Amino acid sequence: MAEEPADAGTRAEGTPTPSEHHGRSDRQGGRGGGGPAGDEREGRSGGGTGRSPGDESRGRDVDEHDRQSGDDRGRRSDDRHDRERRFDGRYERDRWDDDGHGHERRSDERDRWDDDGHGHDPRPKDARVFEDAYPGMPAGPFARRGFRRFRLTAWIALVVAAVVVGVSITWVNGPPTEAELREKAGLLSKDRLRIGVKDDTPGIALRSKDGSGFEGFDIDIAYLIAADLGFRRDQVEFMSIETEDRARMQARNGNGEFVRVDLVVATFSVTPARKADPSVGFSTPYLFTEQSVVTRSDYQDEHVASLGQLEGRKVCSLGTSTSLTELSKAIRGNPIAEGLISKCVERLRRGDIDAVTTDAALLAGFVTQDRNLRHHDIALEKTEMWAVNAGPNAALRTLVDLALYRSYADPQNQRWEEAYKAHIEPLLKTNPGVNVAQAEQPCALPPPVRRWPWERTLPARDCPSAP
């Protein structure tokens, strides 16, 4: 029996001996040649079962590389899922419930956040508010951001609700609207608006010679008011009214019959006694004028400076007028009273009387027409304030005030100025030295009419001289 090598027990089966290895090395000089070396190479490369130590090492390296690649992919996947859980509130509880080993960490983390060792809670304020409002839900970044949005939305909703409630209370308890006033005033059922005016006063209110219409400052003011009440010019019906009938609002129609009118725009001056009359409802004033005197140009006194100078003279004025009251205070005797100022002027022209006294704006037109008349400024301190009489109809009176307020406060509304320039301004040239009427509309305050904030575009001004 041949003796076995010393390493026979450890050498792998098929592993060549050192001598065989050296022999193969010596035979490798002839590549491609036949012989046992060529056959052996063909066996290894052709899929034979024999493997060298290098082959096994390379196999182990490949397996290790695959395993490491799988672990890296797993870790990247875990990181990606962890990031998703971090920004998704639904997975916050899962992340805190399990620490990866099946252990519950929520109570430990809560203890950790409850105290930082110094008696202080180190959690951000929004996190504390969120976790206190929603116990058991972790305050992740996404959840806290949503909670802040929720609080902002809640505050906005509260503010809006408060505004809505305030507006509703104001709307219910506030003054009536313009539409409500029209309904209360009884205008919705009317197809015509009746207005009592003077018909014998040049420049103020004069019936045309053919009797077809009226013209003058008061007529334009009446049209101004009617337009704001919702009536066209062809829906306004003017009726002649005398001085003593203005408080009763009784005018005469075309047949001479007394008819109650809706408004009176007829040089009606405001006085405390008239304001106390329950049948009179004055609007805010629409013209300021003053009392004056007219005589013939041949009157012995070139200038009349006061009513007292008319002592012993025959003087005519309008019955129940403020001018007649002032005249009665200034002279003894009984002044002559007429229902129409035109009758006084006609008597003056005929020489039946010596003078006529009333408001300067009423007399200026007569002086303009007749150069034989002389106008005197008597410098009374009292201002005559003409206003519209709406009677006991309070809603209608408020609507008239609203129309005059718009005319006064709106710079684009020039209807009052246009009426003044058309009818009163021409009278100033023929009445020098007399304050016929102030060239500015009297100040008007906004009436109590409910309006939306965006509708309050007109400025409200102080009116210290308003009655």
Beta bridge pairs of residue 293 = 357, 376
Element holding 376 (H helix, E strand): strand 373-377
Vertex 155 angle, CA 154 and 159, to 5°: 120
Structure confidence at residue 357 (pLDDT) = 97
DSSP at 309: G
| C-alpha closest to that of 365 among 216, 223, 201 | 201
Percentages helix, strand, coil for the chain, rounded to the nearest 5? 45, 15, 40
Residue 389: both structure tokens together? 């009489």
Count of C-beta atoms within a 10 Å radius of residue 451: 15
Count of C-beta atoms within a 10 Å radius of residue 349: 15
Give the residue ranges of the chain where pLDDT is below 70: 1-148, 150-151, 164-173, 453-462, 464-467
**Cβ 188 vs Cβ 232: under 8 Å:** no
Q: Which amino acid is at 109?
A: E
Distance CA 168, CA 174 (A): 10
Q: What is the full DSSP assignment across 37-57? A: HHHHHHHHHTT-S---HHHHH
3-class secondary structure, 329 = helix
- Residue ranges of alpha helices (H) inside 230-382 are 272-275, 322-330, 341-350, 360-369
Distance CA 417, CA 415 (A): 5
What separation in angstroms does the CA of 128 have from each of 5, 92, 115, 134? 81, 16, 12, 10
**Cβ 190 vs Cβ 261: under 8 Å:** no
